[in-house]
Amino acid sequence: MIDREAEIARQTGKGRIIAKMNSVADSEVIKALYRASQAGVQIDLIVRGICGLRPGVPGVSDRIRVVSIVDRYLEHTRIWFFEAGGKKEVWLASADWMPRNFIRRVETAFPVEDPALKERIVDELLGTQLADNVKARVLLPDGRYERAQTDKPPLRSQERFMALARRAGAVLEQPPVAGQEIFPSTGRRPQRRRRKRL
């Protein structure tokens, strides 16, 4: 899929990859990402931990940006987005891009086909993390990390996600019917079990 994105970029001048995972260490994948960058693909990697790729090297990885976000919650999300000539493919996966995941383990990756879900994943999840300027650290070509530099208002992605979850939860909450629990199938109230005293 990385090579396909590179070929599309060579033909059309447009290509886009966004990938979120814990680690990028497979040499073949890293070489493919370098080729894609050189072909004109804009690549954003959100890699919390190990990253064996050197972004921002002139003529090699100019179009690759690597961001690490370490915050209150340990994230294990793996999301792969490919522009795919306008198809906008989104994949969710269990695997990092590491030899052990490709060779020694059984992993899964599946496409998200619902257009609304794809849009939400790309805009709300990936977009928010790429805009994080509080906990995000940007990987430099020499292997050092520095804080994301921006003149925009502070945005902490995990706090934004918590706020979105609270808002969604508030919409779903409904008050109990007259303070009573009733089984919908029978209309009866559940019987309360009494605790036995020892």
Tens-place pLDDT, residues 49-98: 999 999 999 999 999 999 999 999 988 899 999 999 999 999 999 999 99
Task: Tell me which residue of 67, 87, 94 sits closest to 16, measured CA to CA.
Answer: 87
Domains, the chain, with CATH or none: 2-172 (3.30.870.10)
pTM more than 0.75 = yes
DSSP assignment of 108-145: -EEEE--HHHHHHIIIIIIHHHHH--SSEEEEPTTS-E
Strand 89-93 vs strand 79-82: parallel, antiparallel, or unpaired? Answer: antiparallel
Per-residue model confidence as pLDDT tens digits over 153-174: 999 999 999 998 888 877 666 5
